[in-house]
């Protein structure tokens, strides 16, 4: 590591948290349940870590912003935050911006999908995405999806697609990203997209009909407008 880089990181570590903008209600989360059932499946459209390496998905931001000034848009509002170089996007969203819907069920191991948010239109695991890589990105969380009254919210309620609700924000973000790129998904499409999201309460069978119902409602909305 160069001397300049070391100096930058030391400076960054010494700064600590500079501001906490404001707090919002999480909305779609509650307690931790008991049994881990079999997940829905999964493919390349399932949530993943943001990375700039190899054949994987594109990097969230063009450059790492270390020593730590990050500007990003979250749920339509612009934020300027100071971040530590090791912070995850999940930490930034929860501890600085105040959006608590990204959860941590697997200890930040990239195994559960409960921390999923949408970055520049794609579902990502916020626990494995560095905050400093998100400079200049547009982020959506479950709070934003609820705020815009997306049909997924009503469809999840109608189809009883959650019990304790802990996993629900991650599922909803993954489903929203799917519907944004595929307005007419099949059950197989939904199962593939949601394959990286786990639910201890075993609500898997309710998700495909809920997402397909939301897609139908979105198409009706578009035909009316």
For residue 147, the minimal CB distance to ligand FES (Å) is 21
For residue 26, the minimal CB distance to ligand FES (Å) is 14
Comparing CA positions, the residue from 118, 25, 16, 32 lying closest to residue 72 is 118
Instruction: Decide whether 179 or 199 has the Cβ nearer to ligand FES.
Output: 199
Instruction: Decide whether 82 or 203 has the Cβ nearer to ligand FES.
Output: 203
Beta strands in 37-192 (DSSP E): 69-74, 77-82, 116-119, 122-125, 138-140
Q: Answer positive or negative: Cα dihedral of 40, 115, 210, 29.
A: positive
Instruction: Decide whether 81 or 125 has the Cβ nearer to ligand FES.
Output: 125
List of residues contacting ligand FES (CB under 6 A): 33, 104-106, 108, 110-115, 125, 127, 162-168, 199-201, 203
Largest Cα–Cα separation, the chain? 61
For residue 171, the minimal CB distance to ligand FES (Å) is 8
Instruction: Decide whether 85 or 108 has the Cβ nearer to ligand FES.
Output: 108
Q: Which residues contact 70 (CB under 8 A, 6 or more apart)?
A: 61, 80, 81, 82, 83, 92, 131, 132, 134, 135
Q: Which residue, chain included where needed, has tokens 């749920």?
A: 75
Instruction: Decide whether 57 or 113 has the Cβ nearer to ligand FES.
Output: 113
**C-beta separation of 139 from 133 below 8 A:** no
Q: Which residue, chain included where needed, has tokens 């794609």?
A: 122
């Amino acid at each position: 590591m160069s001397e300049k880089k070391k100096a930058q990181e030391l400076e960054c570590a010494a700064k600590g948290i500079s501001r906490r903008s404001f707090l919002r209600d999480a909305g779609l989360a509650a307690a931790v349940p008991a049994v881990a059932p079999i997940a829905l499946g999964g493919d390349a459209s399932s949530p993943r870590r943001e990375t700039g390496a190899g054949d994987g998905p594109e990097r969230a931001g063009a450059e790492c912003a270390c020593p730590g000034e990050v500007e990003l848009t979250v749920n339509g509002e612009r934020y300027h935050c100071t971040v530590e170089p090791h912070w995850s996007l999940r930490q930034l969203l929860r501890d600085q911006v105040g959006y608590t819907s990204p959860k941590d069920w697997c200890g930040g191991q990239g195994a559960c999908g409960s921390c999923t948010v949408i970055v520049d239109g794609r579902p990502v695991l916020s626990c494995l995405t560095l905050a400093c890589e998100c400079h200049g990105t547009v982020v959506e969380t479950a709070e934003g999806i609820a705020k815009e009254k997306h049909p997924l919210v009503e469809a999840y309620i109608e189809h009883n697609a959650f019990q304790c609700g802990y996993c629900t924000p991650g599922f909803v973000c993954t489903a929203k990203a799917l519907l944004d790129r595929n307005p007419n998904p099949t059950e197989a499409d939904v199962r593939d997209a949601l394959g990286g999201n786990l639910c201890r309460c075993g609500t898997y069978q309710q998700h495909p009909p809920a997402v397909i119902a939301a897609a139908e409602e979105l198409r009706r909305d578009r035909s009316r407008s």
